[in-house]
Amino acid sequence: MLQVDLRELSSGPVDTHAELAADDPLFEPLEVALAAPVRLLGRLHAAGEGRFYWRGSLRTRVAGECRRCLAPVAVAVAADIDALFTQDPDALEDPDSYPLARDATQIDLRPALREELLLAVPQWVVCREDCRGLCPRCGKDLNAGPCGCPPAADPRWQPLAALKGKPRN
Ligand SMILES: [Zn+2]
Ligand SMILES: [Zn+2]
């Protein structure tokens, strides 16, 4: 129930519960690897003067990658939806507002759902808070133990070293 007829809304709120498969074409442009269906609970109601509020929640899981060690991480994604569909162009400055044509006969929730999902997906994840990541030199996973590379030179000493190497007049 993701395309709601406005006539239906004029007689009362409409429930917008849905479950979309992880490979639904709607999510294709997101470049996010969904690991579970997107479950949506919500309710759309008219608020007068071409305004419609959509409130609900979405949840799914994303197949992410640890930013430090690149291990696969399943990330639970959950977000509340609090959106406004409006025919008033002045109300569109709010990022949770979506435009509605003056002659619209229905509200299509799908682009808004895609947008809300994108906002809910974390920009980056770690497999655990104290993940040691990969050695920048040899690439070994440091969670499995030290790799034997010499410690990196302290960058604070580099200007001094450069000074020492300078030929004197
Ligand atoms: Zn990690
Ligand atoms: Zn190393």
Q: 125 lies in a domain?
A: no
- Ligand 1 centroid–CA 130 distance in Å is 8
pLDDT at residue 31 in the model: 85
Residue with tokens 């619209």: 104
Does 114 lie in the same domain as 76?
yes
Q: Is 16 exposed, middle or buried (0-12, 13-18, 19+ CB in 10 A)?
A: buried
- Ligand 1 centroid–CA 74 distance in Å is 12
pLDDT at residue 41 in the model: 97
Q: 42 lies in a domain?
A: yes
Rounded CA-CA distance 4/150 in Å is 63
Q: 83 lies in a domain?
A: yes
Residue 53 has which token pair?
């509020």
Does 95 lie in the same domain as 28?
yes
Does 87 lie in the same domain as 17?
yes
Q: 103 lies in a domain?
A: yes
Does 109 lie in the same domain as 74?
yes
pLDDT at residue 12 in the model: 94
Q: How many domains does the chain have?
A: 2
* DSSP conformation letters of 72-98: EEEEEEEEEEEEEEES-GGGGGSTTEE
How many degrees, rounded to 5, is the angle at CA 101 between CA 99 and CA 104?
A: 125
- Is residue 118 classed as helix, strand or coil in its secondary structure? helix
The number of the ligand nearest the C-alpha atom of 142 reads 2
Q: 74 lies in a domain?
A: yes
Does 94 lie in the same domain as 13?
yes
Does 67 lie in the same domain as 15?
yes
Please report, in tens digits, the pLDDT of each residue of the chain (169 residues total): 799 999 999 899 999 999 999 999 999 998 889 999 999 999 999 998 889 999 999 999 999 999 999 999 999 999 999 999 999 888 778 878 999 998 999 999 999 999 999 999 988 899 999 999 999 999 999 999 999 998 766 666 666 656 665 555 5
- For residue 32, give its domain range: 3-120
- Ligand 1 centroid–CA 118 distance in Å is 23
The number of the ligand nearest the C-alpha atom of 138 reads 2
Does 92 lie in the same domain as 27?
yes
Does 167 lie in the same domain as 98?
no
Residue with tokens 């991480």: 73
Rounded CA-CA distance 24/21 in Å is 5
Going by C-alpha positions, the residue among 124, 114, 97, 110 that lies closest to residue 30 is: 114
- Ligand 1 centroid–CA 21 distance in Å is 28
pLDDT at residue 158 in the model: 63
Does 68 lie in the same domain as 33?
yes
Backbone conformation region of residue 148, classed left if phi is above 0, alpha if psi is from -120 to 50, else beta: left
- Ligand 2 centroid–CA 162 distance in Å is 25
The number of the ligand nearest the C-alpha atom of 150 reads 2
Strand 72-86, strand 97-99: pairing? parallel
Q: 8 lies in a domain?
A: yes
Does 65 lie in the same domain as 42?
yes
The number of the ligand nearest the C-alpha atom of 129 reads 1
The number of the ligand nearest the C-alpha atom of 148 reads 2
